[in-house]
Amino acid sequence: GAVVSQHPSRVICKSGTSVKIECRSLDFQATTMFWYRQFPKKSLMLMATSNEGSKATYEQGVEKDKFLINHASLTLSTLTVTSAHPEDSSFYICSARTQTYEQYFGPGTRLTVT
Amino acid sequence: GNSVTQMEGPVTLSEEAFLTINCTYTATGYPSLFWYVQYPGEGLQLLLKATKADDKGSNKGFEATYRKETTSFHLEKGSVQVSDSAVYFCAPGGGTDKLIFGTGTRLQVFP
């Protein structure tokens, strides 16, 4: 199957700093990628849809100025958590959609804000 | 929009027991249906899918049938293993639609 990677897998940052998470489709091109947030023992919450070459579409209640998404190429989307606070600590998962509309997920990034 | 309801977990079974995890959905039209599995500390992996009514998706001994009349996509496995312990997510959607995830059902299999 198609492979999606995320980097870093774990990150610890101080409150007030920004952190960038990368999502890459390794063996296919993805015009659309998705960013999810998962709370402990909870389902995945879709944060935004990232479209290559255009602005991301954010779900209701997600602050676009806090969670900056850039889909710079057909294989890379980045999520930047700006001015992070402890409540932003979570497991962030991306997925990439193939041309046949299947979604493949990255392994996730554990963010801890101290 | 689409929505999905999964049975509450955790589901606790002994090895070689039969597994059923219920999933029902509401949707406009006829979405594709997916089961994803999440092992501890990892992202989601596609387990199986069905794209139209009466299709049966299967993988690694798991199977699920797209039941349009009952809007269900129950996951089954005849004999579970300890290594099947994970969280299972049912999701309608796909295509140009967003995937909508259920709350997930945690499966714990003991030797």
A7 three-class SS: strand
Instruction: Report the pLDDT averaged over residues B22-27.
Output: 92
Q: Which residues of B touch A106 (CB under 8 A)?
A: 43
| Inter-chain touch B94–A108, beta carbons under 8 Å | no
Find the closest chain B residue to A50 by CA distance: B98
Find the closest chain B residue to A46 by CA distance: B100
| A36 membership: H or E segment, kind and range | strand A32-38
Chain A nearest-CA distance from B43, in A, is 4
Q: Is B36 on the interface with A (CB under 8 A)?
A: yes
Out of A43, A104, A105, name the one closest to residue B103 (CB).
A43
Q: Is 80 exceeded by the pLDDT of residue B96?
A: no
Tell me how crowded residue A46 is: count the other CB atoms within 10 A of its CB. Answer: 18
CA distance B54 to B44: 25
Q: Is B94 on the interface with A (CB under 8 A)?
A: yes
Instruction: Report the pLDDT averaged over residues A18-43.
Output: 91
B103 Cβ contact list (under 8 Å, min separation 6): A42, A43, B6, B8
Q: Is B42 on the interface with A (CB under 8 A)?
A: yes
Q: Supply the pLDDT for residue B95.
A: 65
Instruction: Report the pLDDT averaged over residues B25-46.
Output: 87
Asked if residue B12 lies in contact with residue B106, where contact means CB atoms within 8 angstroms, the answer is no
- Chain A, window 88-107: residues with a beta carbon less than 8 angstroms from a chain B beta carbon: 93, 95, 101-107
Asked if residue A28 lies in contact with residue A2, where contact means CB atoms within 8 angstroms, the answer is yes
Q: What is the pLDDT of residues A1-17, one digit of tens each?
A: 689 999 999 999 999 99
| Inter-chain touch B98–A49, beta carbons under 8 Å | yes
Residues in chain B: 111
Q: Name which of A59-63, B38-42, B65-69, B77-81 the model is least confident about.
A: B38-42
Q: Supply the pLDDT for residue B72.
A: 95
What percentage of chain A has pLDDT greater than the value 70? 99
| More confident: B71 or A41 | B71
Instruction: Report the pLDDT averaged over residues A11-35.
Output: 95
CA distance B99 to A107: 17
Q: Supply the pLDDT for residue A1.
A: 66
CA distance A11 to A89: 10
Q: What is the pLDDT of residues A92-101, one digit of tens each?
A: 999 999 887 7
Find the closest chain A residue to B39 by CA distance: A107
CA distance A86 to B26: 35
Q: Is A41 on the interface with B (CB under 8 A)?
A: yes
Tokens 């049912």 locate to B90
Looking at B1-111, which runs of residues are DSSP E strands? Answer: 3-6, 11-14, 19-21, 23-26, 32-38, 44-50, 56-59, 62-65, 75-77, 86-93, 105-110
| More confident: B89 or B42 | B89
| Inter-chain touch A103–B102, beta carbons under 8 Å | no
Q: Supply the pLDDT for residue B37.
A: 95
Asked if residue B111 lies in contact with residue B17, where contact means CB atoms within 8 angstroms, the answer is no
Chain B nearest-CA distance from A89, in A, is 15
